A = this chain, B = another copy of it.
Amino acid sequence: MKLHARSRTARPSNTRLSPLLAAALAVGLALPLSAGAADSAKPRSMQEILDATKPGDWRALDPRDTLYLDLPRGRVVIELAPEFAPQHATNIRALARNGYWNKLSINRSQDNFVVQWGDPAEDDKSRKPLGKGTKAKLPAEFERSSDKLPFHVLPDPDGWAPQVGFADGFPAARDTGAKRAWLAHCYGMVGAGRDVAADSSNGTELYVVIGQSPRQLDRNITVVGRVVQGMELLSVLPRGTGPLGFYENPAQRVPITSIRLAADVAKKDRVAIEVLRTDSAAFDEIIESRRNRRDEWYKHPAGHIDLCNVPLPTRETPAAAPAPAKGKSKSK
Given contacts A8-B201, A15-B244, A186-B212, contact A300 B1 (CB under 8 A): no
The one of B10, B187, B193 that contacts A193, using a Cβ cutoff of 8 Å:
B10
B-side contacts of A49, CB under 8 Å: none
A65 interface hit (Cβ, 8 Å)? no
A2: which of B4, B124, B156, B244 is its contact (CB, 8 Å)? B124
Are the C-beta atoms of B159 and A4 separated by less than 8 Å?
Answer: no
A162 to chain B, nearest CB (A): 11
In the assembled complex, which residues on chain B have CB atoms less than 8 Å from the CB atom of A91? Answer: none
- Residue in B14, B140, B142, B158 whose beta carbon sits within 8 Å of that of A159 in the complex: B158
Q: Is the CB of B1 within 8 A of A112?
A: no
Residue A116 at the chain B interface, CB threshold 8 Å: yes
Cα–Cα distance between A302 and B182 once the two chains are bound (Å): 13
- Produce 1/0 per residue, A176-210, CB < 8 A to B: 00000000001110010111111011001101000
The answer to whether A5 and B121 touch (CB under 8 A), given A110-B25, A159-B158, is yes
How far apart sit A28 and B142, CA to CA, in the bound complex (Å)? 24
Q: How many residues of A contact B (CB 8 A)?
A: 96
Closest CB of chain B to A220's CB: distance in Å?
Answer: 5
Of the listed stretches A234-242, A278-286, A319-327, name the one at the interface; the rest are far from the partner chain: A234-242
**A133 to B159 Cα, complex, angstroms:** 46
B10 and A217 contact, CB distance less than 8 A? yes
Contact call B235/A205, Cβ cutoff below 8 A: no
Per assembly, the copies of the chain total 2
Q: Are B136 and A195 interface neighbours, CB within 8 A?
A: no
Does chain B have a CB within 8 A of A157?
yes
Given A157-B157, A160-B302, A302-B160, are A6 and B112 also a contact pair (CB < 8 Å)? no
- Whether a CB of chain B sits under 8 angstroms from the CB of A118 is yes
Q: CA separation between A15 and B308, bound complex, in Å?
A: 28
Indicate whether A214 reaches chain B with its CB closer than 8 angstroms. yes
Q: Which residues of B contact A221 (CB under 8 A)?
A: 10
In the complex the two chains form, what is the Cα distance from A237 to B237 in whole Å? Answer: 9
Q: What are 5 A-B contacts defined by CB distance under 8 Å?
A: A8-B193, A28-B110, A28-B212, A212-B309, A213-B309
